[in-house]
Amino acid sequence: MLTVAQNYTPIELFPNPATDRIFVQVPPSFLGITNIYVSDINGRIFSTVELNLSEQDQALLRRVELPLNGLTTGYYILNIRNGNDWRAEKFVKR
């Protein structure tokens, strides 16, 4: 049975569709080493960003800008991983 955690916060991506960059709002529950990956629908990873987030960062906006240079027009998946917490959201590159 699949259950959703009580403190689950979805990923916020904007703009979607995107052209040259996309912004991701990192959930406030993500502390410590947090990895962000952009992959295509076949799982090929095109870019990665590693953040080290502290409790002090929770007061900040926690918005990360990701350039989309080199990505062709199409559908992509943005993944955020923090320990055992993994979230994904689809976006369109125009």
| Nearest one of 67, 3, 7, 48 to 31, comparing CA atoms | 7
Looking at residue 27, what is its pLDDT? 85
pTM of the model: 0.84
Q: Are the C-beta atoms of 82 and 33 separated by less than 8 Å?
A: yes
Kindly give, in sequence order, each residue whose CB lies less than 8 Å from that of residue 79, ignoring residues fewer than 6 positions away.
Answer: 35, 36, 37, 38, 39, 86, 87, 88
List the pLDDT tens digit at each of the 94 positions of the chain. Answer: 544 555 677 889 999 999 999 999 988 888 899 999 999 999 999 999 999 988 776 656 688 999 999 999 999 999 999 998 999 999 999 9
3-state secondary structure of 7: coil
What confidence score (pLDDT) does residue 48 get? 94
> SS3 helix, strand, coil % of the chain, rounded to 5?
5, 55, 40
Q: What is the pLDDT of residue 22?
A: 97
Sheet bearing 63-67, strands edge to edge: 12-14, 21-25, 63-67
pLDDT of residue 56: 72
Domains of the chain: 30-93 (2.60.40.3080)
